[in-house]
Structure 1
Amino acid sequence: MQWLHHEAMAYLQELHATVQAGAGVVGQYGVWMVFGSLLIESAGVIFAPGETFLIASGFLAAQGTLNPGLLFLLAVAGTSLGWFLAYFLADRVGISWLRKHGKWIGVTPDRLQKTHRFLEKYGSIVVLFGRFVVPLRQLQGYISGSAEVPLRDFYLWNVLGAVTWVSFWGGAGYLLGLL
């Protein structure tokens, strides 16, 4: 059992070192860089380092380098706005584009209808917890807008999901900063 404790501690030390490296970048550019990276990631850039910078910024907030309240507000705003941009783009262009060109990327009318029905039934859960699944986090706004999820529902679950996700990963970074 002691080997498990040793392995867990080694993993935490490695994670701590990685977060410290990311914290150097965040420390240099501040909370607005975190806002921008989360906005870009949430708007569909799959390899943007938003989550990494969020954890690193939580780490810095625990050490007193960043204001945790401002960080939280900007992280939630960046994450939510990215999804809203993707949602509005997909809502305006996505469904008609998918109906016309979807067959070229494997989106048949049948799959589109199944997605629409699935999101009518489970959309709130998908939007709320979709942030925790890569690449769903980066594509959720497009999926919801194209599947015609009502804006009222998307707005509520998008913001609640952003608060949950930012609290989880920013909080994890904060806890690492206290170690």
Structure 2
Amino acid sequence: MATSMSLGAQLAVNVLDAQSLLAAFGVLGVGVVMFAETGLLIGFFLPGDTLLFTAGLLCSGSGQQGVKLSLLPLLICAAVGALAGAQCGYLIGRKAGGTLLARSRSARLKEGARRAEELLERYGHAKAIVLARFVPVVRTVLNPMAGALSVPVRTFTVWQVAGGLVWSLGITLGGYALGSSVPNVDKYLLPIIALIVAISLIPFALELLRSRRAAKDGVRG
């Protein structure tokens, strides 16, 4: 009976709420969400940045409902999920091409695909793969797009690993550091997460600005 109740509570978890996910599944849930968000198109709506930051914060002991996670297992699960997911998405793209995206009815997903393709064309493979990690939805669709567009396996793997480690470990450790230094920081979690998401978009925004300035200089020249 107790097992059935526990299973029912897990099935009722809110997949869009980071603390709900962490309370139900712990660090293993982080790995699964990272894999789904970066490797499966159906995972584009999952709270990747929010989950990583909140999980890191909970490792510091600052959190609601007594949820406490261990930092090292969390970092391992986050990194493995993010890297394996991206590689899986790339392989799906190589096999299925643009079929999966073409069948999707999600306007948000299609917009993400457009931006992902634009990134690859404008910045080149290496830079685009790294930058995409920090842009929600784009980090989901760029991996299959890279496979569909025949980005070399070695190039994709090297740069998705580099970007994936910086993204997954950086945001997680940022949450841990803040939770360790600011008492009761979880009370301000929503505005902090909004700030983290905004900061995560800075590399993309700076690159876009630099590209536009270069284009203007080229026209003037």
What is the TM-score of this pair, normalised by structure 1?
Answer: 0.70
CA distance in 2, matches of 1:34, 1:42: 12
Which of 12, 27, 36 is the equivalent residue of 1:31?
27
Runs of at least 5 residues in structure 2 that lack an aligned partner in the other structure: 1-16, 63-67, 183-221
Greater RCO, CA 8 A, separation 6+: 1
CA distance in 1, matches of 2:26, 2:118: 39
CA distance in 2, matches of 1:42, 1:164: 14
Percent identical residues = 25
Which of 117, 127, 130 is the equivalent residue of 1:128?
130
Q: How many residues align?
A: 147
CA distance in 2, matches of 1:24, 1:141: 28
| Cα deviation code 1:7-51 (max 9, x no counterpart) | xxxxxxxxxxxxxx8345414421000111111111232111232
Deviation of residue 76 (structure 1)? 0.9
Residue 52 of structure 1 aligns with which residue? 50
Query: Aligned pair in 2 of structure 1 residues 60, 118: CA closer, same or farther (>3 Å)?
Result: same
Query: Aligned pair in 2 of structure 1 residues 123, 23: CA closer, same or farther (>3 Å)?
Result: same
Residue 149 of structure 1 aligns with which residue? 151
Task: Give the 5 Å matches for 1:95-174.
Answer: 97=99, 118=121, 122-174=124-176
Deviation of residue 169 (structure 1)? 1.3
CA distance in 2, matches of 1:135, 1:35: 18
The question of whether the paired residues in 1 share the 8 Å contact of 2:19 and 2:54 is answered with yes
The question of whether the paired residues in 2 share the 8 Å contact of 1:116 and 1:148 is answered with no
Runs of at least 5 residues in structure 1 that lack an aligned partner in the other structure: 1-20
Q: CA RMSD in A?
A: 3.0
The question of whether the paired residues in 1 share the 8 Å contact of 2:119 and 2:128 is answered with no
Matched, 1:71 2:97: no
The question of whether the paired residues in 2 share the 8 Å contact of 1:23 and 1:59 is answered with no
Query: Aligned pair in 2 of structure 1 residues 52, 117: CA closer, same or farther (>3 Å)?
Result: closer
Deviation of residue 124 (structure 1)? 0.6
